[in-house]
Amino acid sequence: MTVDALRTAATAPWVQSLALLCLCAAYLQGGIGKARNFAGAVAEVRSLGLAPAAPIAAATLVLQLGASALILSGWYRWAGALALAGFTVIAAFLADRFWTEAPPERQRSANAFFEHWGLVGGMLLVAWHDLGGHRAG
C-alpha cells in the first residue's frame, strides 16, 4: 500500500468519527453506568471523600454525557474536550493516588493514573484541532 493510499484511508471522514467515539467511550460508559446505578455513583463519590456526594455524582454524570455529546456532535467540540480534560485531571489525582499505595496495588493505580493522562492529551488535541491549532505555524 502506498503512502497516498494510507493517507486516503486514514483521513476518511468515518475515521474521525470513530476516533472521537473511542476517545469518549470511557466517559459514555461512566455516565451511562452512573445513570443506571445512581446509588452506586453516590457511593463512589463518598469513597473519594467528597461531599455532598449526590450532587457531585449528578454533576459528574451530566458532565460525562454532556461533554461527550458536544464532542461527538461537533457543536462546541472544543468546550466538551476541555471540560473532559479538566475533569480527568481532577479524577486522576482523586482516584489514582498511586504514590500513597503499597505494592502490588501501586502498579495498578500508577497505570490508571498515566492512562488518564493519555485521555487528557487526546482531549487537548481535540480542542487544539477544533480551535484551529492544526493551521498554526
pLDDT of residue 61: 98
pLDDT in tens, 73-123: 999 999 999 999 999 999 999 999 999 999 889 999 999 999 999 999 999
- Give 134's pLDDT tier (boundaries 50, 70, 90): confident
- Pairwise CA distance, residues 85 & 128, whole Å: 12
Q: Kindly tell me if the per-residue pLDDT of 136 is higher than 70.
A: no
> Which residue range(s) make up the domain with 75?
3-135
For 112, counting Cβ atoms within 10 Å of its Cβ (0-12 exposed, 13-18 middle, 19+ buried), the class is middle
pLDDT in tens, 33-45: 999 999 999 999 9
Number of domains in the chain: 1
- Pairwise CA distance, residues 54 & 39, whole Å: 8
Residue in this structure with the C-alpha cell 499505595, named with its chain if needed: 101
pLDDT of residue 104: 87
The phi and psi torsions of 131 (rounded to 5 degrees) equal -90, 5
